[in-house]
Amino acid sequence: MSTSLHHRAVENLGTRIVAGDLPTGHVMLAEQLEAELKVSRSVVREAVRVLQSLGLVETIKRVGIRVLPANRWNPFDPQVIRWRLSGEGRGAQLRSLAELRTAVEPVAAELAAVNAPEELRRELVEVSHAMRDAGQAGDVARFLELDILFHSLLLTGSGNEMFANMVGQVAETLTGRTVHGLMPDHPRTAALQWHVDLAEAIAAGNAVKAREVSNQIMRGSISELEPTWKGQPRVFVPVQRR
């Protein structure tokens, strides 16, 4: 029960902060949150600790719990990504993630073609064919599951542990696109084939082709999603000067 209450408190406050319902600079008191959320002080304290770790709030002695601006949030945390995808800033979040993936995944594909273990290469090819079948059949749930697995294998197969730690962000991106109706029931035939081509390039150790096809996939994704972020502002994070 305590874990459930804690999760609900984090979700409630996190969603409202990211949506702007609790705006930057807004100050909350622990006792007010206890009454509002109908939870104990310990649940509030733990929820605030989680939100602090994500950069959403800070506690100020004798003042309260203050909401921080978006440029202080942890943009890589899957929870923050999910909350942003659920709100009006969905387009801007998709843009940031698409641009990040375009910068990283083609390089990861190139590295995977050189470094991935043989077993991972075989699995990647199998998953790409299963993805094509699920996409052609319009099996949205199965396609999402396989799409997440495909890109997770790609990132981990690079042999770069920092790329591998982007799996959670990619999973939230693909899930968010599906949940919010931004993924077609039947993906484009060309896009399905690109995933097969990418997997086979990696399996064959063709680093140049792997990078080219991965870049093609990412550019295609940006082209599809671009209308969702038209006119949405960017977040400029101040440079920390020493």
Give the CATH number for residue 41: 1.10.10.10
Specify whether 214 is located in the same domain as 133. yes
Specify whether 41 is located in the same domain as 121. no
pLDDT band at 184; cut points 50, 70, 90 = confident
**Domain of residue 131, CATH code:** 1.20.120.530
Specify whether 9 is located in the same domain as 128. no
pLDDT band at 2; cut points 50, 70, 90 = low
pLDDT in tens, 18-42: 999 999 999 999 999 999 999 999 9
Specify whether 111 is located in the same domain as 174. yes
In a domain, 141, yes or no: yes
pLDDT of 97 above 60: yes
Average pLDDT over residues 113-124: 98
Specify whether 31 is located in the same domain as 130. no
pLDDT of 108 above 60: yes
pLDDT in tens, 66-76: 999 999 999 99
Specify whether 53 is located in the same domain as 161. no
3-state secondary structure the chain: CHHHHHHHHHHHHHHHHHHCCCCCCCEECHHHHHHHHCCCHHHHHHHHHHHHHCCCEEEECCCEEEECCHHHCCCCCHHHHHHHHHCCCHHHHHHHHHHHHHHHHHHHHHHHHHHCCHHHHHHHHHHHHHHHHHHHHCCHHHHHHHHHHHHHHHHHHCCCHHHHCCHHHHHHHHHHHHHCCCCCCCCCHHHHHHHHHHHHHHHHCCHHHHHHHHHHHHHHHHHHHHHHHCCCCCCCCCCCCC
In a domain, 96, yes or no: yes
Specify whether 95 is located in the same domain as 57. no
pLDDT in tens, 40-88: 999 999 999 999 999 999 999 989 999 999 999 999 999 999 999 998 8
pLDDT band at 1; cut points 50, 70, 90 = very low
Last residue of a domain, one of 18, 39, 72: 72
Domain that holds residue 48: 2-72
Specify whether 122 is located in the same domain as 223. yes
Domain count, the chain: 2
